């Protein structure tokens, strides 16, 4: 391992790494725009210039380490060049942070204040470019804000492999454009370019001007959109910025979904379905227990379900593949010997959805099928003869194939016509209201945390199973 010196600190460096990588690993920050740990090196923004004794200035992102090299990341010459680079980058930039969705998490804003902090020295009028140009149905570009780092182009070339973005024209006429065959619109990973754009050039149409990032906070979660179980952050309104009058729904809704870097599962990326998962989680909720379609108190409905369980001779349970590891264990503990239990497919791929690929997307559109199948059998082609009670936990059950005459207990979270067809309907909480773990297709266990308080009138499945088992004498 070659020994190098960064700002006087002796470092045993990995000889295959660049000065920028070694510096990052050892707590020495070097600013950059175009470099990204998961993309090839472009070296075009010049922001990571450092001084090497005896060699002068060069970019750290493309500089291999060599034994004995002495690197200075904050010398007077480096500082002067960084200022000049920031002056150059903002030469034609509109600096419209006041209305930009990226404000508050913009690398250009941060670097400008840290390393320049001065108004433009140029007296020449700025060159204007296209504002709000459609790259796809999901994404807009403000070309005036673009600093031509090329991260978005490299992402579609190297990660999503659609090669659907490129640079048109030259010099200060350069613009990022999508290929004319519409490939960018079909790229199921396209929204990752919004995250990696270091400025506010690439904008989500769904989130445009919706909120300011400083009003939001992230909660660690797991995307339930497929058995990959990508680590994500659900962003929602901070308690101290709670809306008390206008549109209070914003207090309990997911404002956006972003990836949470997890090298074991998804790296720093997620697919667009994961970005849109709030639409699935925030469908109209079932908030009232029912007996044969008529509203009932939760405790009354639990009593009715207990009586059905106590009376059944041959009960069958269809277990949710969206249940957490904790809920599955609770069901097995309380009802493992009482019900014949089979894992149900709660969600199938929707029309037009990418079913599977060799990047992230997996064919099973349920987050915890692996853990559920390890505890319970898969659904049989037909119900066992004599089935007189079916406990259905979660979505995806075709009520028309249930055995005639069998009683039905249904645990669900969303409004659906089937709720009223059950003898007992019990409303249960959703992922954003509880904590737990899912086990993905590869056996990686991943935790999710609650973002919001439980909706009034609903129960957690885990405590519901304990309550249902408690007084009917079900053997543990």
- Return residues touching ligand SF4 (CB under 6 A): 141, 146-152, 176, 197-199, 201-202, 223, 225-226, 228-230, 266, 270-271, 273-274, 360-361
CB of 440 to ligand SF4, least distance (A): 8
Residue (253 or 262) nearer to ligand SF4, CB: 262
CB of 165 to ligand SF4, least distance (A): 7
Residue (43 or 336) nearer to ligand SF4, CB: 43
CB of 412 to ligand SF4, least distance (A): 22
CB of 139 to ligand SF4, least distance (A): 10
Residue (87 or 251) nearer to ligand SF4, CB: 87
Residue (45 or 409) nearer to ligand SF4, CB: 45
CB of 159 to ligand SF4, least distance (A): 13
Residue (364 or 460) nearer to ligand SF4, CB: 364
Q: Which tokens hold the place of 189?
A: 């990973």
Q: How far is residue 229's CA from residue 313's CA, in Å, rounded to a whole number?
A: 38
Residue (71 or 202) nearer to ligand SF4, CB: 202
CB of 214 to ligand SF4, least distance (A): 21
In the bound complex, which residue of the shown chain has the CB atom lying closest to ligand SF4? 274
């Amino acid at each position: 391992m070659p020994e190098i010196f960064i700002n006087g600190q002796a470092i045993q460096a990995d000889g295959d790494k660049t000065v920028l990588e070694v510096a990052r690993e050892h707590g020495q920050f070097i600013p950059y725009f175009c470099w990204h740990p998961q993309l090839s090196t472009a070296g075009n923004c010049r922001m990571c210039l450092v001084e090497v004794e005896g060699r002068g200035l060069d970019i750290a992102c493309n500089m291999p380490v060599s034994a004995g090299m002495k690197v200075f990341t904050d010398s007077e010459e480096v500082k002067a060049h960084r200022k000049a680079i920031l002056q150059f980058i903002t030469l034609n930039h509109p600096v419209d942070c006041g209305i930009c969705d990226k404000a508050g998490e913009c690398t250009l804003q941060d670097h400008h204040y840290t390393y320049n902090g001065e108004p433009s020295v140029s007296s020449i009028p700025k060159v204007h470019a296209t504002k709000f140009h459609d790259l796809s149905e999901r994404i807009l570009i403000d070309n005036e804000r673009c600093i031509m780092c090329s991260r978005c182009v490299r992402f579609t070339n190297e990660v999503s492999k659609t090669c659907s973005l490129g640079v048109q024209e030259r010099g200060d006429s350069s613009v990022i454009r999508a290929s004319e065959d519409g490939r960018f619109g079909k790229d199921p990973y396209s929204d990752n370019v919004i995250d990696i754009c270091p400025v506010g050039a690439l904008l989500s149409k769904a989130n445009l001007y919706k909120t300011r990032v400083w009003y939001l906070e992230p909660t660690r979660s797991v995307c339930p959109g497929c058995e990959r179980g990508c680590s994500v952050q659900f962003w929602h309104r901070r308690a101290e910025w709670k809306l008390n009058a206008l549109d209070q729904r914003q207090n309990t809704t997911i404002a956006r979904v972003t990836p949470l870097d997890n090298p074991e599962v998804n790296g720093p990326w997620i697919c667009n379905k994961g970005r849109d998962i709030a639409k699935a989680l925030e469908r109209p909720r079932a908030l009232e227990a029912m007996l044969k379609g008529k509203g009932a108190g939760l405790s009354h409905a639990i009593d009715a379900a207990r009586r059905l369980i106590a009376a059944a001779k041959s009960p069958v349970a269809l277990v949710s593949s969206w249940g957490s590891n904790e809920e599955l264990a609770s069901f097995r503990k309380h009802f493992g010997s009482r019900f014949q239990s089979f894992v149900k497919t709660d969600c199938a791929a929707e029309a037009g959805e990418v079913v599977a690929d060799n990047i992230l997307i997996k064919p099973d559109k349920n987050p915890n099928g692996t853990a559920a199948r390890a505890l319970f059998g898969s659904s049989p082609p037909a119900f066992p003869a004599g089935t007189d009670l079916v406990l259905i936990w979660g979505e995806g059950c075709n009520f028309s194939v249930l055995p005639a005459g069998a009683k039905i207990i249904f645990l669900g979270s969303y409004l659906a016509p089937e709720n009223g067809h059950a003898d007992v309907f019990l409303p249960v909480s959703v992922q954003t209201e509880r904590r737990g773990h899912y086990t993905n297709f590869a056996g990686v266990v991943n935790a999710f945390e609650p973002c919001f308080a439980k909706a009034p009138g609903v129960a957690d499945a885990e405590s519901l199973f304990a309550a249902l088992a408690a007084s009917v004498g079900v053997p543990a």
